[in-house]
Amino acid sequence: MELVTPNFGLLFWQLVTFLVVLFLLTKFAWKPIMQALRDREDSIEMALSAAEKAKLEMQGLKAENEKLLAEARMERDKILKEASDAGNSIIETAKNKANEEGNRMIAQAREAIENEKRAAITEVKNMAAALSVDIAERILRKELSDPSAQQALAQDYIREVTLN
């Protein structure tokens, strides 16, 4: 039982040893350990605050990037709209120009047809006048006294004219 119940001398020396060890630890080891713990705590706090700061910066950068992306999309849409409008304008101008050119060519063709028609009518009139003069000349040369002979002669000349 002696092992289970310590005697007074053992307790005394254990208490003295404990107090000496406690004094030595407090005097020499406690301050450096506490300083190391404080330093570690400060470094952890600084790391956490730096992480929080970095997180806030990242959020700011993300918001800025999204803003830049939105601006870039708007600029892209604006450029595409301007290009589409310019393309439509060029197409419309080309259509108008083609229509004007077509109308001008049609007008020129009508004018040419009209000129040819006038020339043909003038030529027909000149031919008719020449034939009339020729017929009259032939009739007068013959100086026929018989009207039926003159009529027959005129019919012959008309047949000649229609054959030509």
Where is pLDDT greater, at 129 or 1?
129
CB atoms within 10 A of CB 47: 10
The token duo for 83 is 């290009």
Per-residue pLDDT averaged across 63-78, rounded? Answer: 94
Confidence at 54, pLDDT banded by 50, 70, 90: very high
Q: In whole numbers, what is the pLDDT of the chain averaged over residues?
A: 87
Q: Which of 140, 162, 159, 160 is nearest to 150 (CA)?
A: 140
Q: Is the pLDDT of residue 50 over 70?
A: yes
pLDDT at 2: 62
- CA dist 76 and 86 (Å) reads 15
Instruction: Using the CB atoms, write b or e for 91-110: b if 16+ within 10 Å.
Output: eeeeeeeeeeeeeeeeeeee
The predicted structure's pLDDT at residue 87: 92
Residue 78 has pLDDT above 90, yes or no: yes
The pLDDT tens digits for 31-45 are 888 899 999 999 999
pLDDT of residue 140: 67
pLDDT tens-digit profile of 103-120? Answer: 999 999 999 999 999 999
149 pLDDT tier (thresholds 50, 70, 90): confident
Q: How far is 48 from 66, CA to CA, in rounded Å?
A: 26
Residue 82 has pLDDT above 60, yes or no: yes
Sign of CA dihedral 52, 56, 59, 64: negative
CB-based contact 138:155 (threshold 8 Å)? no
Task: Name the residue with higher pLDDT: 6 or 104.
Answer: 104
Q: Domain limits of the chain? A: 52-163
Q: What is the structure's pLDDT at 161?
A: 73
- pLDDT band with cut points at 50, 70 and 90 for residue 163: low
